[in-house]
Amino acid sequence: MQQSWKTVGLALVILTGQPVQVMVAANPSAVSEHEEWTLATVPTLSVTGVSGNTHTVQIETNNPLGTEMKIEKSGDPDFSVFDVVQDWTPHNDRDTFTLDLQDAETVYVRIKARNGKGIETLYSETLTLIQAPAMPTLASQESTDRKVTLIVNPVQGAHVYKVKRSDWDEPKVFTDLTFTDDTVLPGRPYTYEFWAENSVMSNKNTITIWTKPAPPILKVQNVTATSITLKVNLNRNPDDVLIEAKREGGNPVVNGTLIEETGLKENTEYTYEVRVESSNHEYSEWVSKTFRTGTMPVTSDPDQEFDKAAKDIFSEVVYQVDADDKGAWVDVSVTNTRGMDVRGTFNGVTQLLSATPVRYGDLEWNKEYLLTVVVSDGTRMREKQYPIKTPEKGTTEEEAFRKEAAQFIQSINLVADGQLNSGKAWIDVEVPQTNFAVTATIEGFSQEITKKARFENLDDNTVYVVSFEVRNGKYSYRAQREITTPNRTAPEVVNISKSGNHLQIEVLTHSELKN
């Protein structure tokens, strides 16, 4: 930055005969020296490493060695309030300094230089340092045979919390300190990593937690006059669980998944209790059943029983679709699971279903989706799909309901018929499976329709107006459809005459003539 040079004045006298060097020596005041400074360049900052809460920052500059620089830091990007880290300290290219940050703290740093005359540069671009939040710790943990719940202690500065199970490809995000995993199976260990983020990830915490073993299912295998053999269904427990069986005053023997006892009294009731122990030495609840020697219990086919239960569960799946300016969602519940494992998969996300609605969010507007519901008793499984369409963007909840209700009313099946020659008719109203409450009214008589209803004692050959009201618990929609009852009046003979060999009968009827 410093530059200097000399200006020399030479007085050459012609014809004097004096040497030039003599003349220069005789005029020392003719030599002068000048100094000028160039401006310093603006240095830059970059992070070279982070160790714990200590951030190492490097200075990059092409200024001369020992150029003085000033370093400032602030908690605000506009530096309305700041602290001086170094006040005009000499620095060279690639010098470093360190700053210690608090957990989840954000610090802004800037630097400037000055030359030997004290002329300062502009500030450098601001360097942003972000310290990760502290590693979260567990406030509590809980497991059942169907789910694992983790509750973390709040971490200052954390924007979100994330958790990843060891067999997952991607982590799950939760923001309310509580994470529930309902995709687990009973009697097994699950390892989770969890951490906090504020754009920077904290250190990971790890926990392995076992699910509780599920109560087994006890069924009869064989009964004789003096022996009982029972079959144990493990109910989704792993195969390595231990089965324990007991009977008051007895000694049942466990052989694999069979429980056998011989030497029993004829025609006598015996009550057996069974439980399982997992590899974590945790026990399920005891399951008890009573059997009588001499006769096999009368039971229906278990597959038929399961199919009936699954069909009933499928009929009680309830879903509600809604949307706002940010997107659409659907809430799904099952009125009664009948003790079965019921899971719903929607847009790639699977959740355990119960009477409490669960939400599937982040859906697109005006798009067809499929909800897949799977019912399982641990041995058998049945599946059913429900097509669901989300509302259009900007459509209010009520407008979406009215549009869906109008389409639904058009899908209702109306059938008119009647007893021949009775003069009377009926109208059958059959509604498809729906979550709506539906009321139909004909001639002032109303019926709540869940599947099929009949309106009787109607006149034949008559146009009837069927009024419908559709409700979803929040809104209602009304519309009408028309249907004509067929002729069911006997024909009336009004005249009989004979013409030659022909008998002519004149009949009055409302029926159409057939070719």
Angstrom CA distances, 199 to 79, 127, 161, 177, 362, stand at 22, 16, 11, 18, 22
Sheet holding 368-376, edge to edge: 349-352, 341-346, 368-376, 381-389
**pLDDT of the chain along its 515 residues, tens only?**
554 443 333 333 333 334 444 344 444 444 555 556 677 899 999 999 999 899 999 999 999 999 999 999 999 999 999 999 999 999 999 999 999 998 988 999 999 999 988 899 999 999 999 999 999 999 999 999 888 999 999 999 898 999 999 999 999 998 889 999 988 999 999 999 999 998 899 999 999 999 999 999 888 889 999 999 999 999 889 999 999 999 999 999 999 999 999 999 999 999 999 999 999 999 999 998 899 998 666 555 777 888 888 988 998 888 888 877 788 889 999 888 887 889 999 998 889 998 888 999 889 888 999 999 999 987 788 999 999 988 877 667 777 888 889 889 999 999 999 988 888 999 999 999 888 999 999 988 889 998 899 999 998 888 898 989 999 888 888 888 889 899 888 777 767 777 777 777 776 665 555 54
3-state secondary structure of 391: coil
Q: At 331, which amino acid appears?
A: D
**What pLDDT, on a 0 to 100 scale, did the predictor assign at position 20?**
41
Task: Write out the E strands in 314-396.
Answer: 317-324, 327-334, 341-346, 349-352, 358-363, 368-376, 381-389
Angstrom CA distances, 26 to 5, 16, 21, 160, stand at 22, 14, 8, 85
Contact, 56 vs 49, CB < 8 A? yes
Q: How many Cβ atoms sit within 10 Å of the Cβ of residue 471?
A: 15
User: What whole-number distance in Å separates Cα of residue 234 and Cα of residue 292?
Assistant: 23
The sign of the CA dihedral 214, 215, 220, 223 is: positive
**What pLDDT, on a 0 to 100 scale, did the predictor assign at position 34?**
52
Place of tokens 């599937």: 360
User: What whole-number distance in Å separates Cα of residue 75 and Cα of residue 128?
Assistant: 10
**What pLDDT, on a 0 to 100 scale, did the predictor assign at position 369?**
93
**What pLDDT, on a 0 to 100 scale, did the predictor assign at position 23?**
43
**What pLDDT, on a 0 to 100 scale, did the predictor assign at position 24?**
41
User: What whole-number distance in Å separates Cα of residue 40 and Cα of residue 114?
Assistant: 6
